[in-house]
Structure 1
Amino acid sequence: MAVGAHYRIGVDVDPGESSEPNRGIRSAFKTPTTPDVTEGIKAAIQGAINKADVTLDSIASVMIGTTHFINAVVQADERHLRPVGVMRICGPYTKENPAFLDFPPILRRIMRGHVSYLDGGLEFDTREIMPLNEDQIRQECATLRSKGIQDIAIVGIFSPLDIKGLQEEAVRKIVLQELPDADVVLSSEIGQLGYLERENATILNTSILKFARSTIKGFKQAISLLGLTCPLFLTQNDGTIIDALQAEKCPIKTFSSGPTNSMSGAAYLSGLDTRGAWPTNAQVIVADIGGTTTDVCALLPSGFPRQAGTWVEIGGVRSSFSMPEVFSVALGGGTKVEVDSDGKVHVGPESVGHRLISEGLVFGGNTLTTTDVAVALGKANIGDASRVKDIPVEKLSQARSRIKKLLEYSVDSMKLSADDATVILVGGGSVVHMDDLEGVNKIIRPQFHDCANAVGAAIAKVSGQVDTVEVLEGRDEKEVVAAACEEAKQKAIEAGADPLYVEVTSVENMPLEYVAMKATRLIIRAAGPLSKTALLVSGRYESTTTHADDITEHQKASIMSNQEKHASDFIVSPSASVDIRDYRPEVDEKGIWWVSEIDCEFLATGCSILACGGGGPGYMCYLAARAAIQQGHRLPIVEADDLDPDTWVMGSVSYGAPTVTTERLPSGTEAKDATDALLTCFPGVKMGAQIAIEIGGMNGLRPLVTATDYNVPTIDGDYMGRAYPRLYLMTPFLFGESATPCTQADGNGNVVTVHKAADFHAVERIHRKAGLELGLFSQLVCPPMNVKRVKEVGTLGTTSLAWYIGRAVYLAKQRKTSIMDAIMEANPSGRILYTGKIISLTRHVSSGGYTEGLVELKPIGADEQEYGDTALTDTRHMRLPFQNEYLYAELFNPGQSTKDRGEILCTVPDLISLVGTDGYALGTQDLRYGVRVTVVAFTAHPHWYTEKGIEVGGPKEFGYKDLDFVPLGKPYYEPKRVTKEFRPSRA
């Protein structure tokens, strides 16, 4: 086994010897990292082989994990990144969200080469949006040739479902005919569903491709110079391996293999990978304690780490690919232990890191670290213990207690339930663990724990994955899932897994929401050990590709001399470049508020809080508004009072399934097509303003974008004052306004209008059915009203309210003050109900297509409080049922049955929101065990306090027939208006 500072190399770990105490590990050898990759690899492997005293021909394979590729992205290393030509197979869609928009400026400058929009794309059920256009593809290739771009990313809508290769693969073949020396990467080979995140990951992979090929060539040379002829593999982010040739094509899949190797290595070293060894009905958590941080991950019974959610961030870029869900806390062997002026002992977050052996007390230095504490207490035999024998007992006791709490906190953050867990400790810094941990029934620190990374690399398996959406109408769901499992296993076998031992490691079955038929998304992973055939493959050390490995040295020198990097080059958040205290939105003398990119950021955050758990993913609409501004559009917001009372007002709402919403990005014509069609039902009506249908989530920003098509302003306000799951839950309908005619359009020329329906429920059912044919994502437009009527039935000022809430969040983060207090100051009709962490969660999709569930919280303990927290004297837990949006907040005693009603603090139609520590609210799709949240509530608009409002929007509408409306008890405050506060004073 060999371990370097940046590389983990597994050698001669034979699973057949797992009955031995050392589990077949013959040696462990560490060597410092060298500037030259080839020399470093040679030294590490040679050292391990010599120490193990084995022959070269007995080495079956070499597995390497590297951070080279991710470092190039994070550091924006222009020597190794190349411009990329992006070919979107999208038909009319995605234009509202341009490629590279959410990249840090420096990566956008380096990587943005050219973007093509091609005919094609698929619907969620793999119907073609439109066929490919070969002439169009060849024309775009000519453009790429003229720009000298040879690195090309092909990204098709719903391409992960295109198992027959009808579109992305077909485009690649044409591109290689026109540009035979090009590197072409398909998004379906890189990421899962989620168009922007998958495209971003594909771009990163394409840009790094030539550097990866050059680096892996160095690995091959090192092995070849040692006289080894065995196969070379690289470890992937998900804990499995790919051969060197595949790694050259998909280097992004190795970006975060280090933490994953530690996790799977821990499972192996502890013996939990053997049959029957896994604790019955228990959670297994791995804590990898290094010099500076503790990385914690939950292990699945398969021995693989639990994967992260829908996206991860790499170098400031939201990306989608398999990566472990890792929680990091500032605790390591080199963490500093300090005493403040009040005598309170603090552990971290500062650390001496790799300088521990020179700066730690027991090593002759002058800094007290956690390692010194462990030695002083007799819990570790490291260095010179006499140098820490005089440290006061109380100081050591406080430090020990704090270390214990940090470990408990990090472990609890990865648990999926309150049940006790088994914890495996690995890493050189694990000596800092000294005590039993609350919520942990067993702690294992295995032999070779400080080499878990290398062990994980050496024993890694080969995997295969299926990510698909299946329509289940008329089909047996079990058979559909079983067939998908077999497909995942076959993919693993094709990648080199042994057919006799390949197994399904995880099955995610996620029913689609808002769907008028039964459909589900399946993500299935399978894995198995390398087959003998794969291990016998040799001669892989010479690359089969004829592409150039990297840019020339002359080009490198030119880049570095002409492009100076600045901190602002890495900033993604628009507000991060200003002092928010001094920022003033642009409001002219007429009272028109001209929205900026910073305003969009504030609005998106505020709208997430007003969404009450629903409202759909707002990121796309936020980016669309920013893109519109960058393209030269002006986004005006006005007060209803400043418009002629006879001005006609219209608005649209995103209508469909969230899975489709994140994949088939809008064309930008959906709302216009629906609006134009609906206006034909109202001869003589000319729209003069837009308004949000709901302020919550993505729809709060939608009118700003739609208004650019008509050169009209957006009214400060909406028709809900929140988000609600059903079309008819709007304030105009409380006052007798009709829901028909109303129209939805899909952005591809298809428009459906319901001219008349028996009742509101019938309108909903008809549009849901039509939405299926439209691909489960459209914009729906309601009948126009004049400004006079809007002022009577709308909820005005909510756009300003969202802005003030968002601004308060970002200002608090910038000034390091309490985010929750800032939110309350921005909306005085609100109240903080609870601060706790999620300890229980149930979720399912109802027959009506809505996400239903129940989330339970318990209080944050005194030792878990952060700045601005107030200790809760109430020990009761809180539960919040939801149907897309949260319905009521209830305090109850732990263990109390859900049938026994506790204390109801408030119910709908008052607003209830769960806000994370970053100030962004959690949608019901974001809820997970262990997440820390603050429950805030706001008094609803007076329209919802009417008898009709409580009847339509109260708890009984959602099935709680025995529960009357319980108001929050705070007065409603008319929102402060941005236009009034920032309008220039008149002389």
Structure 2
Amino acid sequence: MYKIGIDVGGTNTDAVIIDEQLKLVHGVKVPTTEDIQTGIEQALHKVMKESAIDPSKISHAMLGTTQCTNAIVERKKLSKVGVLRLGYPATASVKPYTAWPEDMVETLGKNYELVQGGYEYDGQPLSAMNEAEVKQVLTRWQGEIESLAIIGVFSSLKNDQEFQVAEWSKEILGEAVPVSCSSTIGSVGLIERENATILNAALNKVMSMTSNGFERALESEGIRQAEVYLCQNDGTLMSIEYARQFPILTIACGPTNSIRGASYLARLENAIVLDVGGTTSDLGVLADGFPRESSLAVDVGGIRTNFRMPDIVSIGLGGGSIVREGAEGVTVGPDSVGYKITTEAKVFGGEQVTATDIAVRLGKAAIGDAALVADIPQEFAEKAYQKIKSMTEDAIDKMKTSSGDVDLVLVGGGAIIIPDDLKGVANAYVNEHGGVANAIGASIAQISGQYEQIYIYTKMERSDCLKDAQQKASQQAVLAGAVEETIELVEVEETPLAYHPENATRLRVKVVGKMK
């Protein structure tokens, strides 16, 4: 039996097929299309045709896609959201959508309401929830909203009020209006958690179209028996049903797929990964086989959130980056010919001088027709190459946590432009299949579950708190498609809450398991 992994990048859509021993059977790369869906279908068709594998032998299909990210950035295809915050009057001074871009607020609609409810930091009620008040709001929103976001003050400590409102929503708005509860999405911090929950609710329609389109593409290729998964942004997978419930978890899954694929190709569990695309380069850190998570609040499309995101640094350097000489000397990027590199770069008969042309001119890469770049002056090419080198070294330095040299894994179709001798790098690893590392990462990933809550250690033994959190994380992993018997604990993070009189601690647990 075989697995298919597909990853949609800004320039190319990659597809790979791997066998039961996780060995790469075949990989293809096609240009990403404007509607994205067509590119997925073309990559799937090409990899199936060229590998000549019987569609009935495909047991699993995985997709890593940028569609949710694009929807937020472009403000397109998003659902009208009703935002219900349980926390009046204590939180009335900062209303929902505070500091949001105005065009995004207009896109989602301005349906928000603050009602009584929520909890104190110690689990005591902030104010009693009023059933009649909540139901009145939900009734008013009938026909006006397509998705509902429910946010309770300190629901990360106690979330029964959120779940109760979700039940009332099903009664009044019906099953057709999906519900997002903040306690299942974000971390401690009301506004950032609220923002993440609103975005999750806004993406329901996009994810429905994406998942349905992927299933149709598989069906058209005769792949009818495969288990279908989508990639999460922590380097693991989730079932298609789970993805429809938590579409926000697909944001930034592309770089994490590359990091996991790089780990597989280089046989390393700790390194910096540099994924060079056509337009940008993404740097991430491989820590114990998984992408390092950002410890900071992250902006998504100009909106501050606190749900988990990979620690990624992106720079405007890629294989298609345009090289110029101006008043400030030689510059590389940030603009790029992108997926048009095969027609616009000089080495392929075009007119634009790109980073790829520089690498070919200096004999660092063998691609296209070297004779077409022979007219690029040697001095100009060397200055451009030095610029590429310094941009890469600066980015690597930002990701390091110590002054020592690090291992670097180079992946992505544009990796040919990166110099060999980089400061701060002990060993650089390159693999012939690095161009499709992101699709490999998608196809080999495990299923994860994560749970976070504030526990008060004076009221409950620490060991019992750890056991409870691990059990709840395991439940999330099973919901996402993991086999329960294979689940193992991979990460525990404890953060004591300062000034709390009863030793309160934010406990975050992560588990992984094998897919069904």
Q: What is the TM-score when the length of structure 1 is the normalising length?
A: 0.49
Q: How far did residue 507 of structure 1 move?
A: 2.4
Residue pair 1:420, 1:440 contacting (<8 A) in 2 also: yes
Does 1:166 find its partner at 2:170?
Answer: no
Paired position in structure 2 for 1:441: 426
Pick one of 232, 240, 243 that aligns with 1:244: 240
Paired position in structure 2 for 1:367: 352
Q: Which amino acid aligns with 1:156?
A: G
Aligned partners of 2:418 and 2:313: how far apart in 1? Answer: 17
Change (3 A) 1:253 1:418: same
Does 1:304 find its partner at 2:290?
Answer: yes
Measured against aligned partners, the alpha-carbon deviations of 1:68-106 in whole angstroms (never above 9, x if no partner) come to: 2222221122xx223221111124322111111222111
Q: How far did residue 391 of structure 1 move?
A: 4.2
Pick one of 248, 254, 257 that aligns with 2:253: 257
**Secondary structure class of the residue paired with 1:291:** coil
Does 1:184 find its partner at 2:179?
Answer: yes
Paired position in structure 1 for 2:107: 110
Q: How far did residue 390 of structure 1 move?
A: 5.1
**Secondary structure class of the residue paired with 1:367:** coil
Aligned partners of 1:203 and 1:4: how far apart in 2? Answer: 25
Q: How far did residue 288 of structure 1 move?
A: 0.6
Aligned partners of 1:490 and 1:206: how far apart in 2? Answer: 22
Residue pair 1:10, 1:64 contacting (<8 A) in 2 also: no
Q: How far did residue 494 of structure 1 move?
A: 4.2
Alignment of 1:568-579 (within 5 A): none
**Secondary structure class of the residue paired with 2:26:** coil
Paired position in structure 2 for 1:345: 330
Q: Which amino acid aligns with 1:70?
A: T
Residue pair 1:42, 1:226 contacting (<8 A) in 2 also: no
Q: How far did residue 12 of structure 1 move?
A: 3.8
Does 1:329 find its partner at 2:315?
Answer: yes
Aligned partners of 2:322 and 2:45: how far apart in 1? Answer: 36
Residue pair 2:6, 2:63 contacting (<8 A) in 1 also: no
Residue pair 1:4, 1:31 contacting (<8 A) in 2 also: no
Change (3 A) 1:52 1:458: same
Aligned partners of 2:35 and 2:276: how far apart in 1? Answer: 28
Paired position in structure 1 for 2:272: 285
Paired position in structure 2 for 1:232: 228
Q: How far did residue 409 of structure 1 move?
A: 0.9
**Secondary structure class of the residue paired with 1:129:** coil
Residue pair 1:236, 1:242 contacting (<8 A) in 2 also: yes
The sequence identity of aligned pairs, in percent, is 37
**Secondary structure class of the residue paired with 2:493:** strand
Does 1:313 find its partner at 2:299?
Answer: yes
Aligned partners of 1:200 and 1:269: how far apart in 2? Answer: 37
Pick one of 169, 177, 182 that aligns with 1:175: 169
Change (3 A) 1:292 1:211: closer
**Secondary structure class of the residue paired with 1:140:** helix
Q: Which amino acid aligns with 2:336?
A: S
Change (3 A) 1:244 1:483: closer
Measured against aligned partners, the alpha-carbon deviations of 1:940-986 in whole angstroms (never above 9, x if no partner) come to: xxxxxxxxxxxxxxxxxxxxxxxxxxxxxxxxxxxxxxxxxxxxxxx
**Secondary structure class of the residue paired with 2:84:** strand
Q: Which amino acid aligns with 1:215?
A: T
Aligned partners of 1:123 and 1:108: how far apart in 2? Answer: 29
Alignment of 1:371-410 (within 5 A): 371-389=356-374, 391-410=376-395
> Computing the radius of gyration over CA atoms, which structure comes out larger, 1 or 2?
1
Alignment of 1:517-536 (within 5 A): 517-530=502-515, 534=516
Measured against aligned partners, the alpha-carbon deviations of 1:419-444 in whole angstroms (never above 9, x if no partner) come to: 22111101111101222222111111
Paired position in structure 2 for 1:153: 149
Change (3 A) 1:430 1:150: closer
**Secondary structure class of the residue paired with 1:286:** strand
Task: Single out whichever of 359-368 and 376-385 deviates more from structure 2.
Answer: 359-368
Residue pair 2:60, 2:228 contacting (<8 A) in 1 also: yes
Q: Which amino acid aligns with 1:197?
A: E
Q: Which amino acid aligns with 1:451?
A: V
Alignment of 1:751-900 (within 5 A): none
By percentage of residues, which structure has more strand?
Answer: 2
Aligned partners of 1:168 and 1:176: how far apart in 2? Answer: 13
Q: Which amino acid aligns with 1:249?
A: Q
Measured against aligned partners, the alpha-carbon deviations of 1:359-391 in whole angstroms (never above 9, x if no partner) come to: 323222333322222212221111122233454
Aligned partners of 1:10 and 1:356: how far apart in 2? Answer: 20
Q: Give unmatched runs, 5+ long, in structure 1.
A: 19-23, 273-277, 535-987
Task: Single out whichever of 52-61 and 203-212 deviates more from structure 2.
Answer: 203-212
Pick one of 425, 428, 431 that aligns with 2:416: 431
**Secondary structure class of the residue paired with 2:512:** strand
Task: Single out whichever of 37-46 and 464-473 deviates more from structure 2.
Answer: 37-46
Residue pair 1:2, 1:48 contacting (<8 A) in 2 also: no
Paired position in structure 2 for 1:948: none
Paired position in structure 1 for 2:89: 92
Paired position in structure 2 for 1:887: none
Change (3 A) 1:298 1:35: closer
Q: What is the TM-score when the length of structure 2 is the normalising length?
A: 0.91
State the Cα RMSD in Å.
2.5
Does 1:17 find its partner at 2:3?
Answer: no
Change (3 A) 1:441 1:502: farther
Paired position in structure 2 for 1:27: 26
Q: How far did residue 115 of structure 1 move?
A: 2.0
Residue pair 2:319, 2:414 contacting (<8 A) in 1 also: yes
Does 1:496 find its partner at 2:481?
Answer: yes
Q: How far did residue 11 of structure 1 move?
A: 5.1
Change (3 A) 1:34 1:389: closer
Q: Which amino acid aligns with 1:407?
A: T
Change (3 A) 1:157 1:506: same
Q: How far did residue 285 of structure 1 move?
A: 0.5
Q: Which amino acid aligns with 2:179?
A: V
Change (3 A) 1:291 1:31: closer
**Secondary structure class of the residue paired with 2:197:** helix
